[in-house]
Structure 1
């Protein structure tokens, strides 16, 4: 999706995708192309010219997206985020591109180009709907909460350990220029919140309290220990000593004179004005227009026509199925007691608690090394990009998920990064490490994101875009490959993967429970603790995540079940002609597809293999 420059895998980064250049005017209508209707070459060229033009316009509207891709042409700009001009320009661009697409005769495209045509058509229509008068007024006035927004993502981005490069003197100076844009965004966010107050469309008290705590953590830091200061503690040797001294002075001045005052303005506004007017009910059903918004979000996130009621029922069914798997593991281990007692044993026994952040890091690297030996049997293509593994920064870890992935650059100059959560180590469990690595790292997000963006045969929107159902569906499916790779012969590791699968099943129940059935935060936490071995810290973070980003969590299971269904169908219909490496190539090598388009593609592949 255009709004994501991290393929939706990191939700803080996902929120940063709503950007534009410093001064935006609505995009002019694009010039229509006259095609020779019987010339496939002209149809292909027209299609890819459209993709190229649309991508270029999108990068100009979203300079931060360009930086994440390693394109630094607009790196001196932050973006005109959340302005009416930005929304108008984005909508105009999408409408013009969609009209231009429909001038191309799809019938004259080859099969791969038809897939690209269908994906672009789907995404542009969804983007336009998200910017419609029915949806946009419900989202633009809630520009941030504890799970998305620049206030949590930008400090890491600008830290020298995130998306912004710091290899040259210009990189350091561009970072200073972007700081001014971030400060402007903070003040605009305050203005949008005030619009929401007037319209009766407000965030929850819980999410705003969490944001205030995030901001308090940032404000408590001294300038020299701030993430914003880190780049000037790690200069490349190519920057002269005199320039280093100047930059240190300027970076500290920006922190003291710009960044921290703006952070305090936002913090004080939220604490004194907005929080008393925020809503008590956790779910969107308690917000003006929330029911219609949630139904749209479900449709957009899952790329299906499923309703909240259907997703809730699917979740209950999956919870029952996975519960049977827990009971089987309990019997294999020989634990005496009921299932809730078994969960408590698994979440509290000291033997399963990691000793340190460093031990977790070493453990994840060991899992990765073991997995690399088994990857060739399942995949014909592997990423060129390396995978880095590191914990979240301590200032943000409390409100983060158990792990996330941040994409690298297509040329490999910045590796993909798997972030894991080391907050409150006694409530982290080693039995969950394997499945978490398979999901966030290899062969999960790192494979899916990197193989797409390294594939020069794909147009940019397919290399760098995505939808949650496919992206997270693939990562959850990748967890199940631990069975093929032999990781789950150990019953404790198998408990770990069942626990993570149960998490995704419970998400279907809890997300829809919160937003369409009136479930409370406390009721949702209790449900998750009683049906799995997850710790209370994780359960709280998960539930507060669903409150903050409605519908996102439902896409994992919907996507994974679709891929599993397609694999089973291929195995059954192809028999000895089925090849798992070829199947995975079919799923992965055309980027993130809406689920109906993925199903149609696999059906065509099955038919071709059967005929051959």
Structure 2
């Protein structure tokens, strides 16, 4: 599984680090008599006013710098703009904004704030500090010169945006015109990426050959679509009924022209550059340990993704311990179903017997629909607030299914105008084992990503950076924690489905071992794939996609297990401390009602809640 916020790395950081809180003021009536001098504001009110004003100004600035962040919220003020990504000016603006905002935050008396505002203060400080570090010259020298990969590249994200099924709306003539304007900028951005790659060639900081080959393959797939078969052409194949025929004809012609004359030539230029110039100098070693200053970058990425200052060795050893524990539970399932043979033979049985393979894509779809109905019937027992944003279940689009995860989630809009979407992958259908369906749904949809992201976005009492931002450890940690609620929901009563839950948990434990193995200990791609095959019933297709994902985006996969373990630790702490006073619905509300918090901030919040409940 992977959360797909539908943004590439730069844009995802922009969403992560955006900030705002709405404030209102009321003018005095014109005929009112002069008011007496106002009493000095109470320290708490004054500090809160300063804090919320900072949030509001920071968010407005962020949306101007990162117009796609606004588009994903349903804010159409900058909908004709793609953004100034990959430029020196962009990175300088991000760095300057963080410096300015941290300076203003330091001038606010945190002690005078309410408990909720103190949480907001701490999260904002953490996020801006991270943004400042991520945009420092030392880090940019290692990241900006590798502008795209096969997982977080504009070429993977932007087609979704412009497909007619993504975040960009296609309801009015202006929506279509804005889309065409973004297309022009997209072609420029692709050429800009070539310039950044050349800088990396000069400095000796380059992508692995494996990543480059995958990107070339992705470009080939999109080029093979032609013009009218292109994902970019899809929105003009049908129009809303109220768009005049003359406008339809014009927009269809303009869309075809920009695809034919700008986007496709830019794809060809990028592909030929990567194939003929970049690939020969790309590195053989897949891990950051083989890249100039790679170990230093990996240390930063561990903290960025887990929100904790952990060493690669700690992460690796924790993963080994979790793998051993989960293997023991898998052995128990093997015994329960009466399988005679080794665990490896059980894995082989589960991954090869036809009874565990979906008979058709339609069967897989209907299976997920049925699981969703079962969850819906029980979810109110364990959650006091349910999302208003609708949830849809869709297959992964064919142009990216080969390199996509088994499942993913795209967030909707707070007003419900765009639903949240759980994507299931039908590529290599025999590898989409039926015993993994329940746990995948709990993670991606309800009560996993869809609940956490939607409830935060819908909570207008929060400042916008807490509604729309987040960090991987919390977001993915929550989704993995949601998998552990199988018992409460009456799921995984079939021992094979319970094995599926363990298999997915094993995946996240193996990620700690494999990600750190690749990027800190020099593991090869094949070594990492074999480790995953040896310790789970993953098919080779999925194991390969997972490993190549870790190669492309180091550190991100560590966050799942680290975040889950922290939430489980906090729940156990609360259950022990509160005894009969513990209420699972209330605990879930405490975890979810302030958005995605850094794990240290979440821990303090839960400790404070426990203390208040104990009296």
* Mapped contact 2:389–2:412 kept (Cα < 8 A): yes
List alignment gaps of at least 5 residues for structure 1: 1-6, 21-34
- 1:437-473 Cα shifts (integer Å, max 9, x gaps): 1111010000000000100110010000000000000
CA distance in 2, matches of 1:56, 1:365: 39
Question: Could you say if the C-alpha distance between residues 512 and 37 of structure 1 is closer, same or farther in structure 2, counting changes exceeding 3 Å?
Answer: farther
Give the alignment partner of residue 325 of structure 1, picking from 326, 329, 335. 329
Question: What does 1:570-609 align with in structure 2 at a 5 Å threshold?
Answer: 570-609=574-613
Q: Which residue of 1 aligns with 2:26?
A: none
Q: CA RMSD in A?
A: 1.4
Q: Which residue of 1 aligns with 2:526?
A: 522
Q: Which residue of 1 aligns with 2:369?
A: 365
Secondary structure of the equivalent of 1:72?
A: coil
Q: Which moved more, 1:241-250 or 1:564-573?
A: 241-250
Residues 1:133 and 2:145 are matched in the alignment: no
Q: Which residue of 1 aligns with 2:210?
A: 206
Secondary structure of the equivalent of 2:595?
A: coil
Secondary structure of the equivalent of 1:224?
A: coil
Moved beyond 3 Å, runs of 4+: 7-20, 35-38
CA distance in 2, matches of 1:467, 1:113: 19
Residues 1:353 and 2:357 are matched in the alignment: yes
Residues 1:415 and 2:456 are matched in the alignment: no
Give the alignment partner of residue 549 of structure 1, picking from 549, 553, 560. 553
Question: What does 1:86-485 align with in structure 2 at a 5 Å threshold?
Answer: 86-485=90-489
* Mapped contact 1:8–1:14 kept (Cα < 8 A): no
Q: Which residue of 2 aligns with 1:509?
A: 513
TM-score, structure 2 normalization = 0.95
How far is the alpha carbon of 1:10 from its aligned partner?
A: 3.6
CA distance in 2, matches of 1:582, 1:354: 38
Q: Which residue of 2 aligns with 1:67?
A: 71
* Mapped contact 1:183–1:258 kept (Cα < 8 A): yes
CA distance in 2, matches of 1:571, 1:265: 59
Q: Which residue of 2 aligns with 1:562?
A: 566
* Mapped contact 1:37–1:105 kept (Cα < 8 A): no
Q: Which moved more, 1:481-490 or 1:73-82?
A: 481-490
CA distance in 2, matches of 1:98, 1:204: 36
- 1:132-157 Cα shifts (integer Å, max 9, x gaps): 12211100000001011111111111
* Mapped contact 1:64–1:78 kept (Cα < 8 A): yes
CA distance in 2, matches of 1:572, 1:497: 26
CA distance in 2, matches of 1:393, 1:549: 22
Q: Which moved more, 1:91-100 or 1:348-357?
A: 348-357
Q: Which residue of 1 aligns with 2:614?
A: 610
* Mapped contact 2:84–2:90 kept (Cα < 8 A): yes
CA distance in 1, matches of 2:286, 2:6: 19
* Mapped contact 2:409–2:422 kept (Cα < 8 A): yes
Question: Could you say if the C-alpha distance between residues 522 and 511 of structure 1 is closer, same or farther in structure 2, counting changes exceeding 3 Å?
Answer: same
How far is the alpha carbon of 1:8 from its aligned partner?
A: 6.2
- 1:243-278 Cα shifts (integer Å, max 9, x gaps): 111111111111111111111111111011000110
* Mapped contact 1:468–1:555 kept (Cα < 8 A): yes
Give the alignment partner of residue 495 of structure 2, picking from 491, 494, 498. 491
* Mapped contact 1:159–1:228 kept (Cα < 8 A): yes
Question: Could you say if the C-alpha distance between residues 488 and 44 of structure 1 is closer, same or farther in structure 2, counting changes exceeding 3 Å?
Answer: same
List alignment gaps of at least 5 residues for structure 2: 16-38
